[in-house]
Amino acid sequence: MSKPLILVSNDDGITSNGIKKLVSLMAQIGDVLVVAPDSPQSGMGHAITVGDTLRLTENRLFGDQIPAYECSGTPADCVKLAKHHLLKDRKPDLVVSGINHGSNTSISVLYSGTMSAAIEAAIEGTPAIGFSLCDYDTDAEMDHVDEFILKIAREALTKGIPKGIALNVNIPAHQNQKIRGIKVCRQANARWEEEFDQRIDPHGRKYFWMIGNFVNHDKGEDNDEWAIANNYISLVPCQFDLTGHHAIRLLNDEWDI
């Protein structure tokens, strides 16, 4: 039997340490194709390139045995180009995105380019996983992630992921204590409370840096923030249907429309 085909992408760019680690792990279990941005695209969310050119350039960063391409567009663009241009004759068995340098727990999933690559794959009907390491250091220690990423990827390949679902996997930063396991959980009720630091450029014009704090309002023990704080890997199944189904009846019953 042929090996499964695994498409690898990310949002930190094709030269990041995170994608190098993920490619090396996926090469142990399948045939790998890499399509990733040619520059960092963090915080791009599910943006796509409309009304501008897209460039796709072959890259030998991962050696002659692993075909790789760098794309001038967003993470979602990368998955679209891979499926509809590079892989017209073969559908990937799994799409993995990451390993992101930094957490994508809670509300961050909406802003994440890492998760948008995975969600784009889910929209296209392909099992998909986004992996993030809760450490923003570009040279962060990653050797503790191997067994868990391989386990999750193998489970996805052999047992499948529900249709229309992308898995959001966050892994605690390396520490002296071993990771306690994997928790399937929900997205925490937490968000960023932004502030804007106003400054003056050398020409006397105003500009702003967005700053702020991440505030967790969730006291439960079944969410991704709790899992990471307690040294578990969090695994949250995410869907792209944003319909607030619980509000449909209320609006029909109470609004005069």
- 17 assigned to a ligand binding site: no
Whether 214 shows a pLDDT value over 90: the answer reads: no
The parent domain of residue 108 ranges over 5-187+221-242
Question: Which tens digits make up the pLDDT trace of 30-46?
Answer: 999 999 999 999 888 99
Given CA atoms 41, 143, 79, 59 in this order, what sign does their dihedral have? positive
Identify which of 188, 239, 241 has the alpha carbon closest to the alpha carbon of residue 214: 188
Instruction: Indicate the pLDDT class of residue 1, thresholds 50, 70 and 90.
Output: low
- 11 assigned to a ligand binding site: yes
- This prediction has a pTM of 0.93
Any domain includes 207: no
- 146 assigned to a ligand binding site: no
Any domain includes 209: no
Instruction: Answer left, alpha or beta for residue 255, where phi above 0 means left and psi between -120 and 50 means alpha.
Output: beta
Any domain includes 256: no
Q: How far apart are the first and last CA of the chain?
A: 58
Residue 142 near residue 21 (C-beta atoms within 8 A): yes
Report, as an integer, the average pLDDT of 20-27. 98
Q: How far apart are CA 6 and CA 29, in angstroms?
A: 9
Any domain includes 249: no
Task: CATH number of the domain at 161, please.
Answer: 3.40.1210.10
Looking at the structure of the chain, the number of domains it has is 1
What's the token pair of residue 158? 């052999």
Any domain includes 257: no
Any domain includes 49: yes
Report the SS3 class of residue 158: helix
Question: Which tens digits make up the pLDDT trace of 133-156?
Answer: 999 998 999 999 999 999 999 999
Q: How far apart are CA 58 and CA 234, in angstroms?
A: 34
Any domain includes 175: yes
- 104 assigned to a ligand binding site: no
Any domain includes 120: yes
